[in-house]
Amino acid sequence: MLRRLRALHWADFPYLLSPSSVKLWGMYALQPSTFEFLDVPRIFPLIDHELELVEPDARYVDDLLEACHHPLTKELMPAQGRLKRDGVMTFLSQNPRGHSPPDEPHQIAPGYTFWMRMRTESAGHRFSFLHRSQVTIAGSISLRIGHNLNLDRYLGHVGYHVLPPARGHHFAERSVRLLLPIARAHGHKLLWITCNPDNYASRRTCERLGAEYVDIVKVPEDNPLYSQGDREKCRYRLDL
């Protein structure tokens, strides 16, 4: 696992490919021997009308690339707009089913990554969303498991990104709600969600979720988030 992270650091991935398991700045609270990934698609319904959370898979790569190469994505998320197929395939090989396994000696937290996929119809009802957005993959969401200084204070347990052509439908909020049963199943009583102070869309998402604003903290210079330009983080507490 460490060898893989050295070859392709988590901060080098575009947003949709960021593995939910990243090197922690602080102690990891769960023992690797006690952690087991859940068979999420079999246990939990990850569907909310036209929105479905799917495990990253090669069959969705063409749809992902089409969404990333959309003109709005290239304009507003240029790093994502430059995403290439080989980068996606590398991510899939390193994170099968979107699972990022724990590695306590190297301070790696376990987690899940899902892609937000648009459904065209269900039970005879045809959704019209695709006609407006023209993308099938709307974004990505990750859930990190456990507690430590970095997760609770800087990185947060949940990370989400919605591509520009799919915005305006509360997909981030709705995706977080779909993941809450998974967090509860792993023993979480609360989740920390963090965002940059000027990310007003993410802050509104936290408010709609009912998360409580706690404070704004400085990101330490030796934290990996600092190296990618983050200087402060708003902290929201979501009780489960």
Mean pLDDT value of segment 85-113: 88
Q: Mean pLDDT, to the nearest integer, of 126-154? A: 82
pTM of the model: 0.86
Residue 101 banded pLDDT, cuts 50, 70, 90: confident
Determine the distance from the C-alpha atom of residue 194 to the mean position of all C-alpha atoms in its chain, rounded to a whole number: 12
pLDDT at 93 over 60: yes
User: Got the DSSP string for 44-79?
Assistant: S--EETTEEEE---GGGHHHHHHHHTSHHHHHH-HH
* pLDDT score at 120: 77
Q: Are 183 and 239 in contact (CB under 8 A)?
A: no
Distances (CA, A) of 33 to 8, 13, 101: 25, 28, 11
Please state the domain extents for the chain.
2-239
- Low-confidence winner among 4-13, 52-61, 120-129 (lowest mean pLDDT): 4-13
Average pLDDT over residues 113-132: 70
4 pLDDT above the threshold of 90: no
220 vs 102, higher pLDDT: 220
In this prediction, residues 218-234 reach a mean pLDDT of 94
Would you state the pLDDT for residue 178? 98
16 confidence band (pLDDT: 50, 70, 90): low
Q: Which CATH code for domain 2-239?
A: 3.40.630.30
Q: What does the alpha-carbon distance between residue 28 and residue 38 come to, in Å, rounded to a whole number?
A: 20
pLDDT above 70: percentage of residues in the chain: 80
Confidence label for 35 from pLDDT (cuts 50, 70 and 90): confident
Q: Work out the pLDDT band at 5, boundaries 50, 70, 90.
A: very low
pLDDT exceeds cutoff 50 at 176: yes
Task: Name the pLDDT band for 109 (thresholds 50, 70, 90).
Answer: confident
Average of per-residue pLDDT values in the chain: 85
Compute the distance between CA of residue 75 and CA of residue 67 in angstroms, rounded to an integer: 12
